Chain A
Amino acid sequence: DAGITQSPRYKITETGRQVTLMCHQTWSHSYMFWYRQDLGHGLRLIYYSAAADITDKGEVPDGYVVSRSKTENFPLTLESATRSQTSVYFCASGPGQDNGYTFGSGTRLTVV
């Protein structure tokens, strides 16, 4: 099915562990984004990508790593998870910088 999918939907991990959140889109959209959403902060941009092998930092990139070796995938890695990274993570994609973007259903990450 066409769309944007995030996995896993829920994840519990321990402090200090590395964890990777996956995002896959089937439209061959050029642009992909990672946001986190926390109570009191709304949605904040972590990283974005304008095309394969092109990534750039958003508002809150510290502690995160991204890659984009293929157009359809944009994984987000927490290199050493901290409790402050407990959040809901949303991935989004879009065809161009002046178009609307489609968001995934989110990954709820808990770091204990």
Chain B
Amino acid sequence: DAKTTQPPSMDCAEGRAANLPCNHSTISGNEYVYWYRQIHSQGPQYIIHGLKNNETNEMASLIITEDRKSSTLILPHATLRDTAVYYCIVRVNTGNQFYFGTGTSLTVIP
């Protein structure tokens, strides 16, 4: 039970911002939202996570709605190397494990 809903695929032009949405309407008050990505054949790579405030790091920004029912991962200037499957994950509060859904396959187009 991934507890998140993401579009299966998206395209983005190189150099433009990529905005990847995620719905997590059943999120609990103490559950964080995490984003990972997986480039073909590689292990997943941690991108960012947040609880209720917006977060930014060197890779991306995470915008979480006030009701925490959805979030958006923003890659400010997408490059071809950002082509990957992006997973939005909410950690279940009954354990410490992450459950990965099917993610969004992002293709950055030259």
Contacts and interface: CB of A to CB of B under 8 A. Distances in A.
A, B from the same assembly:
yes
A98 B46 CA distance: 12
Contacts, number: 50
| Interface of A: prevailing SS | strand
A59 B46 contact: no
Contacts of B96: 31, 48, 50, 97
Nearest to A40: B102
A38 to B, nearest CB: 12
Interface residues of B, number: 23
Nearest to A6: B43
Nearest to A96: B96
Contact of A101 (B46, B48, B101): B46
Interface of A: 31, 33, 35, 42-45, 48, 50, 56, 58-59, 90, 92, 97-106
